[in-house]
Amino acid sequence: MAIFTGSGVAIVTPFKENGDVDYDRFRDLIEFHIKNGTDCIIVCGTTGESSTLTHEEHLECIRFCTEVVNKRIPVVAGTGSNCTETAVYLSQEAEKYGVDGLLLVTPYYNKATQKGLINHFSTVAASVSVPIILYNVPSRTGVNIQPETAVYLAKNVDNIVAIKEASGNISQVTKLAALADGCIDIYSGNDDQVVPLLSLGGKGVISVIANIAPQQTHDMVAKYLEGDVAGSLELQLKSIELCDALFCEVNPIPVKKAVELMGMCGGTLRMPLSEMEPANAQRLEKAMRDYGLEF
């Protein structure tokens, strides 16, 4: 059974102006998503600026999110690292908080071989009992989980059950789906490729755009799975201008600006991320208005 079906938001981590985590606004964001169709919350992922959180902050954000959600929808915690020992530690601690799943990014910078990826993911999975979503994003990590590797892990490690595919390579995802034959759940990691991945048997999306358009993102998946492919496609195509604006600078710079524009939390980022360029911010604002968002 899938950890979730539909739209999982890769939720931003709100910061105060002094850089501290703003837990009051975090609570508001979580409630906003529960009320507006989000099917799962992914906490402390790339969009949540996990790379600049201390281990203590990282785990407190996971604990806080799990506590606030209180099993109303699934919570998946990002606990990946380029250090296997650190990934084990974060995963074991997150499991104690009652998360419904873990998101494990491929080890970045040290660029493991496919054998190294198998050893890494197998070691982390063996340390916990909760289900695991692999996260393949070679544009950030410098390493690609080959379809054969993902299928091997799904067939040989009981709690590796899914993959977030953000390679952007539809041909690779097609091969993965063919080799897997249903043994691994596939989630789109790209907001502009949700419908294509659903057509290959995907279960949904782990989404950036859902931070500001949660109901629309939920509806895109729900319509497809209910058989309304034309309605789903209409929502996908409508979102393209906004998707482009949300990725005109490195994620999560634009989406942090977007949630700020909507008044949901401050737009404070942690270095080395920087304030959005004014021209790009104007482009984002226009795309949000064209999409129909009110702020």
Residues 6+ apart with CB under 8 A from 189: 135, 136, 137, 164, 165, 166, 167, 205, 206
Which among 135, 152, 224, 291 is annotated as catalytic?
A: 135
Judge whether 155 counts as a catalytic residue.
no
Q: Supply 274's token pair.
A: 């920087």
Which among 152, 164, 257, 291 is annotated as catalytic?
A: 164
Q: Say if CB 207 and CB 214 are below 8 A apart.
A: no
Q: Rounded to whole angstroms, how far apart are CA atoms 12 and 52?
A: 13
Q: Say if CB 103 and CB 69 are below 8 A apart.
A: no
Judge whether 164 counts as a catalytic residue.
yes
CA R_g for the chain: 18
For 217-271, the DSSP string reads HHHHHHHHHTT-HHHHHHHHHHTHHHHHHHTSSSTTHHHHHHHHHTTSS-----T
User: 36 by DSSP, 3-state: which?
Assistant: coil
The reply to whether omega before 14 is within 30° of 0 (cis) is: no
Query: Active-site residues: which are they?
Result: 135, 164
